[in-house]
Amino acid sequence: MPPLSHRLFGSASRCTRALSRPVASTQQAFRHHQSPLRAAAAWTPLPRPSSRAAHSLSSLDQPSTSREANERLYNLALSLSHTQANSSRQVQCIFYDEAGTCTSTQMLTKDAIAEMFSLTTRDLRTIDLPSAGFPHILIREHSILVHIFDLRLIIQAHKTVLFDVDEEVGREHDDNTSRIFSHNLGAKLLNVSKEGTPYELRVLEIALTAVTSTLEAQYLVGKTQIKEMLAMLNEDSIIQFELRTLLEHVRRLAAIEQRARHVRDTVQAALNDDADMAAMYLTDKQAGKPHAEEDHQSVEYMLEATQKASDAVVQQTSGLLSDVKRTEETIQSILNVRRNEILVLEAQIEIFMVGLASATLVAGLYGMNVVNYFEESFYAFGAVSALCVMGTLIIWRIGLRRLRRISRFKARRR
């Protein structure tokens, strides 16, 4: 067997060669203009020669999963970098005429839409946003831009353009605002009672009605579900009550309240600007009869109706959330009482077990294989048994009294 110094030197040299392998691979990767991550991923370590070498190489084996995650992240970022720019992304546009009939469907870019409707690309910044975003209504020289949840419109004096957002990324499962708008557009535009109202205001009213009706429908569905769950709740079935289901409904209700608040704030912002309300009369402006800033009575009435409807949803949703919160506090109180009862029962059982342990100790001492001349007595078994039972009951009774005193003391402190 070689000396100890030779063995240590050989082990150290093998560790040095093993550790220098990834460095050489990295230098070779830089020579061939490759990524060091790929060279490190392609490198396979040598068999571990000794315990010290294994301890040294363990630090290199640990970040292998990190390298794989970084490689996947790199590939994903590389694929995303090849996507089209935002201004070059095409959006499906559905064109409607004055009668509410769909005339054509086209795939247009933002630049083409801005050029067609005399808008700026800044106005169309969020028109293809994957998320719902914050609702807003923009008034321009010849157009009205409406972006409320999945309903995204450009309204002009004689036509309307509806942007159909990708259903997989831009539309929520319970958001049917654009579908309601498309369904009601043709029927309501032919309403005889609305002949005196300009086309653009009728379309805007249909859009706002679709928004408020969607919010009201979502609120009514959530209210029905929550009321049914609260009606089934009582003190006997509280343990089996599905609190997670109630929490899910509460979250949906809170989301509805937030959406209704956004709509109310958007309409309120339009109501506060007289110039924007007067500029909504696109037909009269196109005919050379622009309205003065104070001449916007019909628009103001329409926006006020929408504001009241959205505010009603906000108030009703807030009241229902308050009821659920009070019910939740009641449930927590009942659960606290049940928990205290379980703790008291557990304490009583433990006190009884202490008394029983004392009796068992006496029985164990009596049953020892030691001569004590007491087992020869005729009354020994009965006396010891009675003593054990009485001792157990006395200890249990004393423990219960002290437990009651502690409970009363805590009740007084509260």
Where in the chain are all domains bearing CATH 1.20.58.340?
Answer: 87-339
Structure tokens at 379: 């009354």
Per-residue pLDDT, 32: 41
Per-residue pLDDT, 212: 93
203 vs 18: which has the higher pLDDT: 203
Phi/psi of residue 100, each to 5°?
Answer: 80, 20
- Does residue 365 have a pLDDT over 50? yes
Closest CA to 177 of 131, 141, 213: 213
Burial (CB count within 10 angstroms: exposed 0-12, middle 13-18, buried 19+), residue 78: exposed
- Does residue 414 have a pLDDT over 70? no
Q: What is the mean pLDDT of the chain?
A: 76
For 87-339, CATH number out of 3.20.20.70, 1.10.10.10, 3.40.1190.20, 1.20.58.340 equals 1.20.58.340
Residue 413 — very low, low, confident or very high, per pLDDT cuts 50/70/90?
low
Per-residue pLDDT, 161: 92
Closest CA to 208 of 225, 188, 229, 193: 188
Of 199-208, 219-228, 370-379, the one with minimum mean pLDDT is 370-379
Per-residue pLDDT, 87: 59
Per-residue pLDDT, 211: 93
Taking a C-beta distance cutoff of 8 angstroms, is the pair 327, 233 a contact?
Answer: yes
pLDDT in tens, 93-109: 999 988 888 888 999 88
Per-residue pLDDT, 236: 52
Cα(138)–Cα(13) distance, rounded to whole angstroms? Answer: 74
Angle at 116 between CA 114 and CA 117, to 5 degrees: 70
Closest CA to 262 of 355, 138, 367, 136: 136
pTM above 0.85, yes or no: no
Per-residue pLDDT, 162: 92
Residue 28 — very low, low, confident or very high, per pLDDT cuts 50/70/90?
very low
30 vs 364: which has the higher pLDDT: 364
Cross-strand pairs, 161: 95, 154
Of 36-45, 77-86, 236-245, 254-263, the one with minimum mean pLDDT is 36-45
